[in-house]
Copies of this chain bind each other. A is one copy, B any other.
Amino acid sequence: MALSTYLSRVQFDFGAVSLIQDELDYLGIVRPLVVTDPGVKNAQLLDRLVEHMNSDYLVYSDTPANPTEQAVLAALAVFSDGGCDGVVALGGGSPIDLAKAVALLHSHGGLINDYNVQTGGSAKIGDITPIIAIPTTAGTGAEVGRACVMTLADGTKCNVVNLNLIPKTVICDPELTLGLPPMITAATGIDALSHGIETYVSKQINPPAEGLALDCIRRIASNIEKAYFDGTDRSARWEMLAGALEGGMVLQKGLGAVHALSDPLGELKLHHGTLNAVIMPHVVELNRDSAREKYQTIARVIGLKDPDGLVDWLRDLNTTFSMPSSLGAMGVTEEVIPDIAGKAARTHLSKTNPRPMAAEDYIGLLHGLL
């Protein structure tokens, strides 16, 4: 087994899930709450985790696809009533984000919105209840991320961002991803790819993140189709999970217009990765003159003959995966454009896009995307 240590302690290899009890002991967690979702539970992944746990654990398995404040409070009640002292998140971005919110509110009290990054609340966050994150998709990178996105009671999204939200230990076991259906493999994989591409071209200076972003892109680009067409390809699953991990580590460099749009669009209950897949070619095209050299480096890393072929390659990838042809095909209608564009222009994610993005720019983008 292999140990990496950056800000998170990462156990990465086939069978790494068997280390769960060691990692609980390492963090001194004696009564963990395992947070997961129905899909993960039905896929027997929960069983494959808890069979390696001697601890007296509790489970909350009702995490919704886009985690809500309501679900956080329900899980927090289980955590508190059960006298838990740590959270184990098993699943994709949703259970991991929910676990972060539970650990935050348990240690700090208050409501999610008290820690909203938009209102400066995130800065109040200190050490939180320890979290062990075990990703079962190769996508969000939430397992090493400092952000937590929740849908509040009023339906709006709340971003909480602080280094203390990063799980203390991450267990990446590619075997847990072998059964991932092709469509989820593609959507979450393109999400990871979008992290590599958006952070690599972002305006922030962070040399190591550039290296990690390019390696994320290389791993995902050369394995996403293999994993899509043959989910049992162990080497492809290993590389996809490694790429997604790297994609999570580089989020600190800042994202861009793709995520600035997919976040508010997520409030319409649309899949985050699928949104990014549909939006990304349009954003890369719009950004081209502002980040041409970097897009060409990406094309070289992917192995494209045409140095400016990134947009077409992304379009072809969407076709291969039968992604929706447009946001319209996903059910997005003209009426929501002004609201979405306004939210996109206001988010911190817009600030690091290579090209300045105002509401009008997003309105133009969205019209082209319908």
Give residues in A with beta carbon < 8 Å to B. Answer: 1-7, 10, 12-13, 163, 204-212, 214-216, 218-219, 242, 245-246, 249, 252-253
Residues of B within 8 A of A205 (CB): 1-2, 12-13
Q: Are A211 and B5 neighbours in the complex by a CB distance under 8 Å?
A: no
**What's the number of copies of this chain in the assembled complex?**
2
- Chain B residue, CB-CB nearest to A242: B207
Q: Are B211 and A215 neighbours in the complex by a CB distance under 8 Å?
A: yes
A249 vs B207: C-alpha distance when bound (angstroms): 12
Q: List 16 A-B contacts (CB under 8 A).
A: A2-B204, A2-B205, A4-B207, A4-B253, A6-B7, A6-B208, A6-B249, A12-B205, A12-B207, A207-B242, A208-B212, A208-B246, A210-B215, A211-B216, A212-B212, A214-B214
Residues of B within 8 A of A207 (CB): 4, 12, 215, 219, 242, 245-246
Q: Are B4 and A209 neighbours in the complex by a CB distance under 8 Å?
A: yes
A209 vs B249: C-alpha distance when bound (angstroms): 12
Shortest distance from the beta carbon of A197 to any chain B beta carbon, whole Å: 15
10 tightest A-B contacts by CB? A211-B215, A2-B205, A207-B242, A4-B206, A6-B6, A211-B212, A211-B211, A208-B246, A13-B205, A211-B246
Residues of B within 8 A of A249 (CB): 6, 208
Q: Are B7 and A208 neighbours in the complex by a CB distance under 8 Å?
A: no
A219 vs B297: C-alpha distance when bound (angstroms): 13
Q: Are B208 and A2 neighbours in the complex by a CB distance under 8 Å?
A: no
Residues of B within 8 A of A4 (CB): 206-209, 252-253
Among A2, A216, A252, the one with the most B-chain Cβ atoms within 10 Å of its Cβ is A2
Q: Are B12 and A245 neighbours in the complex by a CB distance under 8 Å?
A: no
Residues of B within 8 A of A12 (CB): 205-207
Q: Are A252 and B215 neighbours in the complex by a CB distance under 8 Å?
A: no
Residues of B within 8 A of A242 (CB): 207-208
A206 vs B216: C-alpha distance when bound (angstroms): 13
Residues of B within 8 A of A215 (CB): 207-208, 210-212, 214-215
Among A4, A13, A249, the one with the most B-chain Cβ atoms within 10 Å of its Cβ is A4
- Chain B residue, CB-CB nearest to A203: B2
- Chain B residue, CB-CB nearest to A14: B205
Residues of B within 8 A of A245 (CB): 207-208
Extra pairs beyond A5-B7, A6-B6, A211-B212 (15, CB < 8 Å): A2-B204, A2-B205, A2-B206, A3-B206, A4-B252, A5-B163, A6-B208, A12-B205, A13-B205, A207-B245, A208-B212, A211-B214, A211-B216, A211-B218, A214-B215
